[in-house]
């Protein structure tokens, strides 16, 4: 249940005309009262003899009885209450009770507190009502509406439980502004899947990912095709910016500009500058966190660096300072945006959805202390400068490797937010993790399939030796790993590590000793990527297969289960 207090107005009759009218797109059906301050209030929707003017005059009567000098300049209070799409349809009686509890919670009218304001609740759709009230009480005093928005939100959580509705998480004021109904209707008219505000927010976020200066940031916005308007002080200093889509125009044919802060709290110019200033300030930086640079890179190298950076950050979220953890979570959002922007077609949609979902998880009331998060910001920068990955060969395999490590990082963010009581952020991170799970399945199928084929072809003596390595390195896990279809991919990886001069037993013991292994559906999958990253082995080994690989892969039922099974993790809560 989503209550939203609208801007206050001056004309009661104007709001009533809209609520009882057909709507901007004929969407209002059977407008009628479901509750009001007076059981005998006229209902122009159901009573043919009642008029909007009569209802307006009765609502405004306490205002008119007040001295003009003491009347509120904007005396019309307007609250909409909407249910989630999956909720059942409430009856008029249930919506009436919702209205009564909402006006009591807001401070508009509470019968237990004596005189209240006059109000009316209008229903013109199955899933929501509108409450209009006038802000002078029956005794001539003004209502106490301090924190009315927070109070109606809290009441909504209570009503969800009472009515068996979808339970929403409590907000904390850090979410991006939702599109207005007018923006949604406009998007529908224009045939857009998303509103201009949402498209701009995603584009600006991607421009921020790994950027190190105002010049680079604005160049990226221009390259993305946005219209940019800068706010310049008389001194010549840049104070802020606005962006618009070229084809999003108002009634006068002018572009509709949105300031960065109206897109999301952390997209204002001062908040973005905090990242840049931290990048250029070496004080307090860890030795492993060099200043950002534009290093020559390619897609696979960028993805390897991303996997390494993500894995190193997991321990920070588990044991580090809150402000530093918040900075790393914010930078995780940058990495997801950069990865989605540069990924191949078969993973792009899920990665984009992961980035969009995680955007909510990247902000909380814990203020981020930027500077210690350089490794992740550098990873985002490398992804952007490395360019698009083709999704095949080493590019595709290292994409799977990066997604696997980012999954662990996002899971750590879930736990961090849950521990801090950040319900909305934890839920958003869970949603992002599910999209990462789907993206991993798409990215990992081919490289894990190639490793599986190689493992199956290992001679018996070599396979027995790798089995002995497994039992020596991780005796407590060995029997479970040996039952997994991915064991053959792990055996091939152990063989590659040994051929590269590594001690496979020590390498495997170290990889298995790292956290989160016990939550994996496929331990062998996780160990494959950890070993290939740590030992700097090629992520893709399809070149070692014969031309018959594709036919064999598709015809082998066990192989079809190995890389394409449902999910690689469980226990995300």
Q: CATH number, domain at 141?
A: 3.30.930
Q: Is residue 188 part of a domain?
A: no
Helix 299-319 vs helix 393-420: angle between axes, to the nearest 10 degrees?
20
Q: What confidence score (pLDDT) does residue 520 get?
A: 67
528 and 427 in a common domain: no
| Same domain as 137, residue 263 | no
Q: Is residue 185, in this structure, part of any structural domain at all? A: no
Residues facing 131 on adjacent strands: 79, 121
> Do residues 140 and 44 lie in contact, with contact meaning Cβ atoms separated by under 8 Å?
no
Tokens of 192: 């857009």
Gap between the Cα atoms of 419 and 532, Å rounded: 32
What is the distance in angstroms between the CA of the first residue and the CA of the last residue of the chain? 23
State both tokens at 202.
């995603």
Give the pLDDT score at 90: 94
Domain count for the chain: 3
Whether 88 and 210 share a structural domain: no
Residues 205 and 145 in one domain: no
Task: Give 238's strand partners.
Answer: 232
Q: Do both 237 and 136 map to the same domain? A: no
Question: Domain end: 443, 477, 495, which one?
Answer: 443
Sheet holding 119-125, edge to edge: 2-5, 76-82, 128-134, 119-125, 32-36
**Residue numbers of the domain that contains 23:** 2-163
Residue 179 lies inside a defined structural domain of this protein: no
CA distance 546 to 453: 10
User: Which of 399, 424, 443 finishes a domain?
Assistant: 443
Neighbours of 38 (CB within 10 A): 11
Closest CA to 378 of 310, 324, 315: 310
Q: Report the largest interatomic distance among the alpha carbons of the chain, rounded to a whole angstrom.
A: 98
The CA distance from 292 to 385, in Å, is 12
Instruction: Let me know: does 537 contact 531? Beta carbons within 8 Å.
Output: yes
Regarding whether 149 and 11 lie in a shared domain, the answer is yes
Measured distance CA(90)–CA(567) in Å, rounded: 37
**Dist CA 267 CA 202 (whole Å):** 11
Q: What is the pTM of this model?
A: 0.74
Helix (H, G, I), strand (E, B) or coil at 86: coil
d(CA 485, CA 540): 18
The residue written with tokens 């237990």 in the block is 112
570 belongs to a structural domain: no
State the pLDDT at residue 279: 64
Look at residue 282 and tell me if it is in a domain. yes
In a domain? residue 189: no
Together in a domain, 278 and 415: yes
* 289 shares its domain with 333: yes
Domain boundary among 406, 423, 443: 443
Q: Which two tokens stand for residue 24?
A: 């901007």
Is residue 504 in some structural domain? yes
CA distance 303 to 383: 7
State the pLDDT at residue 549: 40
Does 168 reside within a domain?
no
Decide: 71 and 61 in contact? Cβ < 8 Å. no
223: Cβ–Cβ under 8 A, 6 or more apart, which residues? none
Are 529 and 540 found together in one domain?
yes
The pLDDT of residue 368: 84
Same domain (yes/no): 449, 438: no
Q: What is the pLDDT along the chain (573 residues), one digit of tens a residue?
A: 889 898 899 999 999 999 999 887 677 889 999 999 999 999 999 999 999 999 999 999 999 999 988 899 999 999 999 998 788 999 999 999 999 999 999 999 977 777 899 999 999 999 999 999 999 999 888 998 988 988 999 999 999 989 998 887 666 677 787 787 778 888 888 888 899 999 999 999 999 998 989 999 999 999 999 999 999 999 999 999 999 999 999 888 999 999 999 999 899 999 999 888 766 554 444 444 445 555 557 899 999 999 999 988 988 887 778 999 999 999 999 999 999 999 999 999 999 999 999 999 998 889 888 878 889 999 999 999 999 998 888 999 999 999 999 998 999 999 999 999 898 899 999 999 999 999 999 999 999 999 999 999 999 999 999 999 999 999 998 999 999 989 999 999 999 999 999 999 999 998 887 666 666 678 899 899 999 999 999 998 876 554 334 333 333 333 334 443 333 433 332
Question: Are residues 437 and 462 part of one domain?
Answer: no
The owner of tokens 């089995």 is: 467
Shared domain for 40 and 138, answered yes or no, is yes
- The 10 Å Cβ neighbour count of residue 415 is 15
Residue appearing with tokens 């027995």: 464
Residue 560: the pLDDT is 39
Distance CA 459, CA 448 (A): 19
User: Residue 82: in which H helix or E strand, if any?
Assistant: strand 76-82
Instruction: Compute φ and ψ for 349, nearest 5 degrees.
Output: -65, -45
Helix (H) or strand (E) holding 199: helix 196-208
What's CA 219's distance to the chain center, in Å? Answer: 25
């Amino acid at each position: 249940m989503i209550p939203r207090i609208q801007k206050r107005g001056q004309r009661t009759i104007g709001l009533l005309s809209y609520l009882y009218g057909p709507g901007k797109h004929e969407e209002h059906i059977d407008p009628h009262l479901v509750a009001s301050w007076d059981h005998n209030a006229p209902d122009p929707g159901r009573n043919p003899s009642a008029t909007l003017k009569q209802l307006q005059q009765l609502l405004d009567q306490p205002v008119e009885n007040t001295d003009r000098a003491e009347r509120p300049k904007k005396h019309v209070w307007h609250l909409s209450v909407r249910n989630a799409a999956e909720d059942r349809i409430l009856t008029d009686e249930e919506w009436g009770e919702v209205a009564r509890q909402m006006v009591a919670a807001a401070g508009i009218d509470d019968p237990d507190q004596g005189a209240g304001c006059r109000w009316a609740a209008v229903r013109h759709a199955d899933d929501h009502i509108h409450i209009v009230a006038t802000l002078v009480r029956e005794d001539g005093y003004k209502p106490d509406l301090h924190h009315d928005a927070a109070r109606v939100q809290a009441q909504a959580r209570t009503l969800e439980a009472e009515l068996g509705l979808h339970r929403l998480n409590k907000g904390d004021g850090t979410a991006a502004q939702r599109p207005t109904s007018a923006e949604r209707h406009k998007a529908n008219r224009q045939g857009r899947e998303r509103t201009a505000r949402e498209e701009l927010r995603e584009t600006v976020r991607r421009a921020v990912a790994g950027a190190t200066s105002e010049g680079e940031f604005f160049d990226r916005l221009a390259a993305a095709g946005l219209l940019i308007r800068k706010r310049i002080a008389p001194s010549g200093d840049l104070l802020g910016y606005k962006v618009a889509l070229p084809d999003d125009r108002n009634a006068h044919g002018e572009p509709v500009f949105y300031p960065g802060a109206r897109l999301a709290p952390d997209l204002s110019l001062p908040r973005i500058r905090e990242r840049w200033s931290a990048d250029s300030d070496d004080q307090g930086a860890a030795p492993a966190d060099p200043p950002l640079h534009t290093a020559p890179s390619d897609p696979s190298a960028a993805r390897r660096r991303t996997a390494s950076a993500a894995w190193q950050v997991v321990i920070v979220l588990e044991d580090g300072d809150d402000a530093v953890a918040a900075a790393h979570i914010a930078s995780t959002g940058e990495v997801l945006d950069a990865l989605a922007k540069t990924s191949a077609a078969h993973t792009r949609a899920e990665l984009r959805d992961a980035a969009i979902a995680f955007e909510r998880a990247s902000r909380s009331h814990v203020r981020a202390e930027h500077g210690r998060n350089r490794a992740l910001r550098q990873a985002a920068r490398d992804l952007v400068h490395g360019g698009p990955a083709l999704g095949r060969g080493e590019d595709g395999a290292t994409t799977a490797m990066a997604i696997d490590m980012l999954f662990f990082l996002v899971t750590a963010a879930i736990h961090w937010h849950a521990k801090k009581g950040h319900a909305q952020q934890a839920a958003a991170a869970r949603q992002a993790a599910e999209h990462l799970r789907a993206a991993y399945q798409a990215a990992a199928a081919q490289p894990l399939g190639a490793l599986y084929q190689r493992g199956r072809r290992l001679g018996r003596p070599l396979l027995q030796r790798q089995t002995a390595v497994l039992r020596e390195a991780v005796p407590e896990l060995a029997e479970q790993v040996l039952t997994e279809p991915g064991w053959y991919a792990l055996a091939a990886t152990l063989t590659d590590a040994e051929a590269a001069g590594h001690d496979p037993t020590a390498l495997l013991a170290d990889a298995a000793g790292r956290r989160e292994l016990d939550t994996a559906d496929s331990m062998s999958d996780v160990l494959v990527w950890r070993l290939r990253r740590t030992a700097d082995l090629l992520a893709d080994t399809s070149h070692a297969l014969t031309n018959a690989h594709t036919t064999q892969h598709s015809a082998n039922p066990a192989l079809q289960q190995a890389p394409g099974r449902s999910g690689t993790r469980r226990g995300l809560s």
